[in-house]
Amino acid sequence: MATMVQKTGSPRKAESQRLSRILEGLDRRFPDAKCALDHRNAFELLIATILSAQCTDERVNIVTRDLFRKYSCLQAFATAPLRELEQDIRSTGFYRNKARSIQGAARMLLEKFGGNVPETMEELVELPGVARKTANVVLGVSFGKAEGIVVDTHVTRVSQRLELTRETVPEKIERDLMAIVPRARWISFSHQMILHGRHICKARKPLCHLCPVEHVCRSKDKTTAFPPSKTAAQAGRRSRG
């Protein structure tokens, strides 16, 4: 079983206490965390999540606002001219692959699943363009099923900085997180970690002075615990004193 990575070899009790502090900090900062992708049903969420690969949620929401008006049902996506669909989602990047995945998923849902989005991991990952990350989003948000933990670039970065895993492959990171985070927290934990990585624990310059778990973070790329302006002001006062 995976355990939280500790430099000092602390006992399991200390590891559990540290995880509790992390979860408490995330709860304080993101008490109402939820999926940022706009959607009205499971299929729209499925499409939006496919589009979100290598693209910001903000951009996806801009694109789907018109996309879901133009293609209002599965049949519309399944029969749309592929080149036209590609242009409709072009600004999300990798639009050719995404268009093929969306159309393939729509057709499979109609032909194999009676036009319904399946509610199991095994069936969801059969769909074109759907891996565990997308399936976890759909299962957690649309069906309230905690089958795993969403691991995107944000969750990967934050989990490594907090020493919750040493792994770099999403599936292995997910396995480590599932082993230490209570299952009842998997859905909310995913949303909280994504928001934390997007708004605070950023890739190039983490905002550690705003971090709710800074006190238990030992990341090598931590920044000062104070905003630059405040640090400069304090330094100025010390020099004058």
Q: Which of 88, 98, 152, 176 is catalytic?
A: 152
pLDDT band (50, 70, 90) for residue 105:
very high
Of 41, 50, 56, 60, the C-alpha closest to 101 is 50
Is residue 133 part of the annotated active site? The answer reads: yes
Q: What percent of the chain lies above the pLDDT cut of 90?
A: 84
pLDDT of residue 2: 53
Indicate the pTM of the whole model. 0.86
Among the options 7, 133, 145, 222, which is catalytic?
Answer: 133
Helix, coil or strand: residue 194: helix
The per-residue pLDDT of the chain, averaged, comes to 90
How many helices (H) does the chain have, and how many strands (E)? 12, 0
Task: Please give the pLDDT value at position 13.
Answer: 81
DSSP string covering 23-88, please?
HHHHHHH-TT----S--SSHHHHHHHHHHTTTS-HHHHHHHHHHHHHHS-SHHHHHHS-HHHHHHH
Per-residue model confidence (pLDDT) at position 234: 45
141-199 tens-digit pLDDT: 999 999 999 999 999 999 999 999 999 999 999 999 999 999 999 999 999 999 999 99
pLDDT at 93: 97
**pLDDT tens track for 12-35:** 788 889 999 999 999 999 999 999
Token digits for 45?
Answer: 């969420």
* Residue 184: predicted pLDDT: 97
* Res 11: pLDDT: 56
Q: What pLDDT is attached to residue 62?
A: 98
Q: Which domains does the chain carry?
A: 12-31+148-216 (1.10.1670.10), 42-143 (1.10.340.30)
Contact criterion met (CB below 8 Å) for 138 and 117: yes
Cα separation, 181 vs 222, in Å, equals 24
**Residue 152 catalytic?**
yes
Output the pLDDT for position 222. 86
